[in-house]
């Protein structure tokens, strides 16, 4: 087969993959509408004004944040406003269980992810913990011990589906790891586009200690992030690394010195989200789609996917606004159109 034939075939395959990906996103939005009507949570899990100020680390001291053992507080989602409009902060809040993944948390996170997915005004998502010293300790083993053996498989499948949906969000996702992220907790972070950790955070896929394997994407995502050999080493040995070592391995993109309030990674993630916020939202979504689809195929097909994604931004009003702003030497006002 000639080079021109190969290139033509790559373009066709690339366009086909892009169409499929866009169809999946459209189907996900339709499914989200149906799911929203059946879940017990509200359309957008919002808090009272009092809870808003307490729910998200803000540099005023993590120790001052109130906690609740009420199941409805297991997850707190905040849609920021003002200059931070478009940033969504998803905070896990199970202090007594070290943010372990329970049936209720899976349900609430799934609802939150579906609501984010169908909201075109969202530009980035920060996944963090509201509990000092812990990101997520993995599966709730106390709850798991009470499950009948027939319940374990379906629960793991739901948790895996949740993490897959988190990874499929069309906007940038940032995991702010200010404490221990173990097992399923690290798998959630691995599903995010970017991971930022404090230097004191602990991370590891430790399932082999329990005679099981990572079951929510860890065996697939970790090798893609740090390479096959290192991933095998960490998983086989159930090794836990700190934030600085995780950065050296490429497990996280940035490691920051922890502060007195215990939210250094969150604050760094917020700064990154603020850098992303003013950029063209459609362009960001297409860039993420091109990267995620392209990384799984050969270079020629990946370039064709990039070409197809580029074609999606050409007719947008935002592109014309970007050109006008450049010409007029002003900050562009992108609207996602």
Q: List pLDDT tens digits, range 159-215.
A: 899 999 999 999 999 999 999 999 999 999 999 999 999 999 999 999 999 999 998
Tell which residue, 316, 281, 277, 308, has the closest CA to residue 324: 316
Specify the pLDDT at position 192: 97
Catalytic status, residue 322: no
- Summarize pLDDT for 70-90 with one digit per residue, the tens: 677 899 999 999 999 999 999
Specify the pLDDT at position 299: 94
Backbone angles phi, psi at 156, to 5 degrees: -60, -40
Retrieve residue 234's tokens.
């960490």
Backbone angles phi, psi at 241, to 5 degrees: -120, 155
Query: Is the CB of residue 252 less than 8 Å from the CB of residue 243?
Result: yes
Helix (H) or strand (E) holding 126: strand 124-129
Length of the chain: 337
Retrieve residue 211's tokens.
């005679």
Query: Is the CB of residue 65 less than 8 Å from the CB of residue 54?
Result: yes
Specify the pLDDT at position 233: 96
Specify the pLDDT at position 5: 52
Catalytic residue among 207, 231, 265, 308: 207
Tell which residue, 199, 267, 270, has the closest CA to residue 61: 267
Q: Per-residue pLDDT for the chain (337 aa), expressed as one digit of tens each?
A: 555 555 555 555 555 656 565 555 545 444 433 333 333 333 333 333 323 333 344 433 333 344 445 677 899 999 999 999 999 999 999 998 999 998 889 999 999 999 999 899 999 999 999 999 999 998 887 877 777 777 777 888 888 999 999 999 999 999 999 999 999 999 999 999 999 999 999 999 999 999 999 989 999 999 999 999 999 999 999 999 999 999 999 999 999 999 999 999 999 999 999 999 999 999 999 999 999 999 999 999 999 999 999 999 999 988 888 888 888 888 888 887 7
Cα radius of gyration (the chain)? 20
Chain centroid to CA 244: 21
- Summarize pLDDT for 309-323 with one digit per residue, the tens: 999 999 998 888 888
Residue with token string 């690339």: 14
Retrieve residue 307's tokens.
């070409």
Catalytic residue among 21, 54, 139, 265: 139
Query: Is the CB of residue 151 less than 8 Å from the CB of residue 203?
Result: no
d(CA 251, CA 302): 24
Specify the pLDDT at position 68: 47
Instruction: Return the SS3 of 81.
Output: coil
Retrieve residue 169's tokens.
């969000």
Chain centroid to CA 75: 15
- Number of Cβ within 10 Å of residue 100's Cβ equals 23
Secondary structure E strands in 208-261? 241-242, 254-256
Catalytic status, residue 306: no
Catalytic status, residue 184: yes
Helix (H) or strand (E) holding 327: helix 317-328
Specify the pLDDT at position 282: 92
Catalytic residue among 184, 218, 280, 302: 184
Tell which residue, 94, 59, 99, 90, has the closest CA to residue 263: 59
**Domains parsed from the chain with CATH numbers:** 3-24+281-328 (1.10.12), 44-276 (3.90.226.10)
Helix (H) or strand (E) holding 242: strand 241-242
Q: What is the 8-class DSSP label of residue 47?
A: -
Catalytic status, residue 245: no
Catalytic residue among 86, 187, 189, 308: 187
d(CA 71, CA 66): 15
């Amino acid at each position: 087969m000639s080079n021109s034939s190969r290139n033509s075939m790559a373009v066709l395959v690339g366009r086909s993959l892009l169409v499929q990906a866009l169809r999946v996103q459209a189907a996900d939005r339709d499914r989200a509408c149906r799911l929203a009507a059946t879940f017990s949570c509200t359309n957008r899990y919002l808090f009272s004004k009092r809870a808003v100020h307490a729910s998200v680390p803000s540099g005023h001291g993590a120790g001052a944040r109130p906690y609740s053992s009420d199941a409805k507080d297991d997850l707190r989602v905040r849609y920021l406003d003002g200059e931070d409009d478009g940033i969504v902060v998803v905070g896990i809040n199970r202090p007594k269980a070290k943010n372990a993944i329970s049936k209720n948390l899976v349900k609430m996170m799934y609802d939150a992810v579906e609501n984010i997915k169908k909201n075109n005004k969202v530009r980035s998502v920060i996944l963090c913990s509201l509990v000092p010293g812990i990101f997520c300790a993995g599966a709730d083993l106390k709850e798991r011990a009470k499950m009948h053996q027939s319940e374990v498989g379906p629960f793991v499948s739901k948790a895996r589906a949740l993490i897959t949906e988190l990874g499929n969000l069309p906007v940038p996702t940032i995991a702010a790891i200010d404490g221990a992220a173990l097992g399923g907790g690290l798998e959630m972070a691995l599903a995010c586009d970017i991971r930022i950790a404090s230097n004191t955070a602990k991370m590891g896929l430790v399932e082999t200690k329990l005679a099981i394997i990572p079951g929510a994407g860890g065996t697939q995502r970790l090798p893609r992030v740090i390479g096959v050999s290192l991933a095998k080493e960490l998983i086989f040995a159930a090794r836990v690394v700190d934030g600085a070592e995780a950065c050296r391995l490429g497990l996280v993109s940035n490691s920051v010195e922890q502060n007195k309030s215990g939210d250094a990674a969150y604050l760094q993630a917020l700064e990154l989200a603020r850098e992303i916020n003013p950029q063209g939202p459609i362009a960001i979504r297409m860039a993420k789609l091109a990267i995620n689809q392209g990384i799984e195929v050969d270079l020629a097909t990946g370039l064709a996917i990039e070409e197809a994604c580029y074609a999606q931004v050409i007719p947008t009003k935002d592109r014309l606004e970007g050109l006008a702003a450049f010409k007029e030497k002003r900050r562009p006002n992108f609207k996602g159109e």
